[in-house]
Structure 1
């Protein structure tokens, strides 16, 4: 494919695993539609690294040019805005369907709100977070 890239590693407060950011001019190719290429690449790399000694690999979060990190920040912002509406109207509201990782980020972002609670509902690709007023 001939893709030139650099990889930077750092730790992020929201992640308990290393953050690996691929910096490249070919981001669109690596990311793909709805980040499917990027998620597939992360999956393949994790399966390959499973063959290494357990102490050498503890998992990682793969990104390209900060694409997924930006998406997670937007997701947290959206969740906090919905939480404000739940507080104001005292009614439950559901977010759009999302991956298990994204749901975890939402649950963690809203854990600091003592007057609301979050719950994952649905199955498979329709699984989502519902934000509710705390009884």
Structure 2
């Protein structure tokens, strides 16, 4: 590739500004909300959809309209497995509509918030057990999203954590040192 061609290519790229990025995130939120509204209609489940853009990421929350979230609980599934699948499908709908890969986070009925609090307690317990026993503490397998939360919590508490294993067996080991 010649230098002239590279310079032309760079000039043709759209300028990335804060407002451009925010606009893209708002657009992906709108596309995701439309997709989820259609899904809720098909499933005959009532729910309100809230969109929030923060820290360079779009957060979509689906909450019960009338306080009865039994229909929404089916969309969370056991251990959040259905929620993870819906998040991926929603990301695919955004990709299809915008040609941009999305890092949006989908939450249903506050499941992710509650799970995050639980993961912080798990991290605190593992740190405490590691300090008391002086031994490495292996945790149960969890998703990449959940492992990130635990890694951050363990680091805040002053210990080290590493992910080990493959696929669905991937888990965190908390230790005093590396």
- Normalised-by-shorter TM-score class: 0.7 to 0.9
Q: Which has the larger radius of gyration?
A: 2
- The structure that is strand-richer by fraction is 1
Structure 1 residues 69 and 11, CA, compared in 2 at 3 Å: closer, same or farther?
Answer: farther
Question: Over aligned residues, Cα RMSD in angstroms?
Answer: 2.0
TM-score (norm 1): 0.85
Q: 1:11: how far off?
A: 5.7
Give 3-state SS (helix, strand or coil) of 2:62's partner.
Answer: strand
Q: Which runs of 5+ in 1 are unaligned?
A: none
Give 3-state SS (helix, strand or coil) of 1:97's partner.
Answer: coil
Residue in structure 2 matching 1:4, options 41, 46, 50: 46
Q: Which runs of 5+ in 2 are unaligned?
A: 1-42
TM-score (norm 2): 0.66
Higher relative contact order (CA 8 A, sep 6+): 1
Which residue matches 1:34? 79
Aligned residues: 130
- The structure that is helix-richer by fraction is 2
Give a deviation string over 1:11-35, Cα, whole Å, max 9, x none. Answer: 67xx762322101232222112222
